[in-house]
Amino acid sequence: MAFTATSDIASDCTKLHNRKERQIARLKLSLEERNVRNMHRALAALIIATVINGGITLIASPGYAQTSPELTKKVLQMERDREKEFEDYFKEDLATVSKTADQTAAELSRLSAITGTGSALLYVIPRKTHLHLVLITPDGTPIVKDFYEVTDPLLFETAQRFHTSILRLNQAVTQETGQQLYDWIIKPYEQELKDARINLLLFCLGDGIKDLALPALSNNNKYLIESYAMARIPAFNLIETTYKPFESGTLLAMGASTFQDSTIPPLPGATKELNLLNQSLNAQRPNNWTVKRLENNNFTQGKINQQIASTPYSTLHISTHSQFRPGKADASYIQLWDQKLKLNALNTIAWRQSGADLIVLSSCQSALGDKDAANGFAGLALKAGIPSAIGTLWSINDKTTATLMKNFYQALPSSSTKAQALQSAQVAALRATNANIAERTPYYWAGFSLISTPW
């Protein structure tokens, strides 16, 4: 009996061992299959091979599904329409629209992986009778939503009330209209954005809302900038998508507090801003920045070109009167010490030769709600030939501007994207404990906008 019992136990142990072996084998197979699937998704999303000499670019399609031919055609046409708006405004050929929605999704996936972000593209296009929204995430096909209750007159009137309330520091109306705009633009995609773990939004906005103060959209008293870093882009085909980590290096700080033409109002805040940047960035430890200054009578086209030709810069910072006005591109300008640099002639300064990744205009003013002024503002980086630009939608308090820009530059070297550095500075402004309540309202921080490449 003892022998039989021992045999039974041994037999049971053998069965148990074999069962465990089979379970382990199935687990290994399951893990291997999952790794293969993940590898295929990663390869599909991330591999981009360029054959330069042959002029051929092969871009992988997104990992989950391919966009239907009909929807692919519609998204391409939407990109071409945005490109044409800027070509008509600047009166020049800008680019050839060729990236499909699947290729855009692959680019977003690649850039998200490199930067450690979740980047998505949201088209917000007024269509007279309805609001047309298209979301492209790193791992999916376009998600299209149309809202026929949101007509152009209703949308534009709400956006106008929103901006007016910000400028008048009317928080009640800002919250009301900011919530309404959020409900129309962001709320329809809340679940998709959450599922895709999106924390960086690229907005491609249509005529009538290109200058929307996006950071101040709000949901239950929480501003959009508190949830997402963001940038506004002219079109995805018109922005630079080659990523290189930002290096602080040398900053060329330019501006004027007085001008050759004495009828131009002085801008004392420009000198204060450049002084604060110089002091704070030079004192930063470890010292990531070297600051070079061109001020007042040195702030001329010739001196800027001379400086750019002799020294490479990572960032170009300009503090002066800058106006984006209704009408043609030559109606908008940046005020140098001795002349108005018209927007259509912006490239007479060889900004690109500096090697800079970013150009900042900290004292812009735009004619809010005007199509031409909005095109000029949104096309700033495009016309300068610099990957990214920062501008302000309205003229902002000198002290607040100087502090926000200081915080932005201090955050930039440790941030994986420019958009996140600006988000950090804006959130710091709205949550500042050493500021009075008024200085924490959107007027003081929501006008700062990153234009074109957010990475």
Q: What is the DSSP letter of 300?
A: S
For the chain, the maximum distance between any two Cα atoms, rounded to a whole number of angstroms, is 115
Is there a contact between 352 and 423 (Cβ–Cβ < 8 Å)? no
Q: How buried is 22 (Cβ within 10 angstroms: 0-12 exposed, 13-18 middle, 19+ buried)?
A: exposed
Does 180 share its domain with 291? no
Residue 410, in any domain of the structure: yes
As beta bridge partners, residue 392 has 448
* The pLDDT of residue 53: 33
In a shared domain, residues 231 and 261: no
Provide the CATH number for the domain around residue 419.
Answer: 3.40.50.1460
Task: Quote the pTM value.
Answer: 0.85
Mean pLDDT by groups of 10 residues along the chain of 455 residues: 43 47 44 40 39 33 69 94 93 86 96 97 98 95 97 98 97 98 98 97 97 98 98 96 87 97 95 91 76 97 96 96 95 97 95 95 89 93 94 90 93 94 97 86 97 97
> Over the stretch 380-393, which tens digit does the pLDDT of each residue have?
999 999 999 999 99
Query: Per the domain annotation, does 398 fall within a domain?
Result: yes
In a domain, 338, yes or no: yes
Which structural domain, as residue segments, surrounds residue 84? 69-238
199 within domain boundaries: yes
216 in the same domain as 281 = no
Residues 228 and 254 in one domain: no
Confirm whether 42 is domain-assigned. Answer: no
Residues 306 and 443 occupy one common structural domain = yes
For residues 233 and 270, membership in a common domain is answered with: no
Q: What is the pLDDT of residue 32?
A: 43
How many separate domains does the chain show? Answer: 2
Element (H, E) at 319: strand 315-319
Q: Please state whether 287 falls in left (phi above 0), alpha (psi between -120 and 50) or beta.
A: beta
**Which one of 218, 238, 258 terminates a domain?**
238
The confidence score (pLDDT) of residue 44 equals 42
